[in-house]
Amino acid sequence: MNQGTEVNTATDLTKPSLAGLTRAQMGDALTSMGVDAKSLKMRVGQLWHWIYVRGAINFSDMTNVSKALRESLEHHFTLTRPTISSEQISKDGTRKWLLRLPSKGAYDKGAEIEVVYIPESDRGTLCVSSQVGCTLTCTFCHTGTQKLVRNLEPSEIVAQVLVARDALGDYQGRPETDKREGARLISNIVFMGMGEPLYNFENVRDAIHVMTDQEGLQLSRRKITVSTSGVVPQIEALGLEANTMLAISLHATNDALRDELVPLNRKYNIKMLLDACRNYPGLSNARRITFEYVMLKGVNDSLAEARALVRLLSGIPAKINLIPFNPWPGSKYVCSEWDQIEAFSDYVFSAGYSSPVRTPRGRDILAACGQLKSETEKMRARARLMLEDTALLEQNSVNGLD
Ligand code: SAH
Ligand code: SF4
């Protein structure tokens, strides 16, 4: 494990950065610099290619841009990313970066967000944040206890991918990427870090457009999953305007318990939430919704609840993702016993659902359900087999995120 290495990059905060900007924002920036309207689209395309496809961190690398324009860009802008305050690398290859964002004004010291990369044999998943903190207060979630909350800009969301690609050398033409014959190390993105993505919908949507643009970060929409605690009025818009995979943090099968665990349920109850799911644009057996279910000992982990879960989801193309509870100091819950998780998973599986247990990855740097350590590998292999059995491997199963 490589604990807390300082990998600070040179940061020039006196000029705005172009890294992470949407096409419209980049167009505005170039216009402000005097680029004329006629060549704007072409210039934005060139810069996008260098920044997102090639991973340029200096304007001087942009060899097909005229010298005069490069100098002018240098004069007005930077390609600075958020500063990496620390990088931790787990024995299993999971990496966690703590990023410090530039201050937004006198009262903002520069918030910190976490980005996690989880490599697996068939994919590499990056877990990104959509907000600093979260205004919701799910009782089992540590993020919900943080006081400081603000929405991330689209560029701050995109920059999380850039920082990870920088660190992994994951750009076209870079040796690390080429080892995998052109496949990107980061193939999947999950919005399961800090924050409620659908409370920052426009910025998340704009960031997804940069991620999926074929001249941008070139990721597939089907490999991007947005997880929500149930902001019902925005679910349809997510499908229509971002067209990504959807994950729902369900965690309970009745309103009384979900009111307690996910207080947003008092506003949008289970029925409203599942109705929105049934109407999710593009939903089909090939594009299932993932229902996340955190396993809390003695709270929501009985077999009666497994039965209720299966009943509740009937008719919805779904996958169920059981998440061992990850305890944090002061949390009032305990992770379910392994046998119970297994029995729950078996029931759900026998009812026809793929039900991988999200295995704690990077436990040495992330702290997860400690008691599961030796059992986890077995379960992981089993979950994989189950996925293969049901030919669902392609379906964006989200593993290993705490
Ligand atoms: N706000 C969004 C996305 C971020 S949380 C949401 O709630 O869906 C990503 C997932 O981690 C959610 O399913 C969330 O319920 C789960 N989670 C939060 N705290 C957890 C903990 N301590 N242990 C296990 N899972 C947790
Ligand atoms: Fe945590 Fe998600 Fe609930 Fe926010 S909505 S408190 S991030 S689980």
Question: pLDDT tens, 364-390?
Answer: 665 332 222 223 333 444 444 343 333
Predicted local confidence at residue 112, as pLDDT: 86
Query: For residues 152 and 136, what is the distance between their CA atoms, to the nearest angstrom?
Result: 16
Q: Count how many domains the chain has.
A: 2
DSSP, collapsed to helix, strand or coil, labels residue 291 as strand
Same structural domain, 55 and 108: no
Flag whether 388 is in a domain.
no
Kindly name the residue from 87, 114, 156, 196 that is annotated as catalytic: 114
Q: Could you tell me the residue range of the domain that residue 264 belongs to? A: 83-379
pTM of the predicted structure, to 2 decimals: 0.88
Predicted local confidence at residue 310, as pLDDT: 97
DSSP, collapsed to helix, strand or coil, labels residue 225 as strand
Q: How far is the CA of 141 from the centre of ligand 2 (A)?
A: 6
Run of H or E including 346: helix 338-350
Query: For residues 355 and 76, what is the distance between their CA atoms, to the nearest angstrom?
Result: 51
Domain CATH for 250: 3.20.20.70
Same structural domain, 148 and 29: no
Predicted local confidence at residue 339, as pLDDT: 94
Decide whether any atom of ligand 2 lies within 6 Å of the 143 Cβ: yes
Predicted local confidence at residue 366, as pLDDT: 52
Q: How far is the CA of 328 from the centre of ligand 1 (A)?
A: 13
Q: What token pair was written down for 382?
A: 């089993």
Same structural domain, 54 and 124: no
Flag whether 346 is in a domain.
yes
Atom of ligand 1 nearest to the CA of 324: 24
Q: List the residue whose alpha carbon is closest to atom 12 of ligand 1.
A: 249
Q: How far is the CA of 311 from the centre of ligand 2 (A)?
A: 25
Ligand closest to CA 326: 1
Atom of ligand 1 nearest to the CA of 401: 11
Question: Of 76, 97, 121, which one is at a domain's C-terminal end?
Answer: 76
- Residues lower than pLDDT 70 in the chain: 1-13, 105-109, 175-182, 359-402
Q: Give just the sign of the alpha carbon dihedral 49, 50, 52, 53.
A: positive
Which backbone phi and psi does 67 adopt, to 5 degrees? -60, -40
Same structural domain, 207 and 239: yes
369 is catalytic: yes
Parallel/antiparallel/unpaired status of strands 245-249 and 224-228: parallel
Flag whether 395 is in a domain.
no
Predicted local confidence at residue 300, as pLDDT: 98
149, 251, 292, 333: residue to mutate for ligand 1 pocket, most atoms within 8 A of CB: 292
Cβ atoms of residues 318 and 287 within 8 Å: no
Domain CATH for 25: 1.10.150.530
Q: Supply angle C-alpha 48, 167, 108, rounded to 5.
A: 80
DSSP, collapsed to helix, strand or coil, labels residue 273 as helix
Which backbone phi and psi does 227 adopt, to 5 degrees? -100, 130
Same structural domain, 144 and 62: no
Question: Of 29, 61, 76, which one is at a domain's C-terminal end?
Answer: 76
Predicted local confidence at residue 91, as pLDDT: 85
Same structural domain, 30 and 87: no
Q: How far is the CA of 228 from the centre of ligand 2 (A)?
A: 8
Flag whether 42 is in a domain.
yes
Decide whether any atom of ligand 2 lies within 6 Å of the 299 Cβ: no
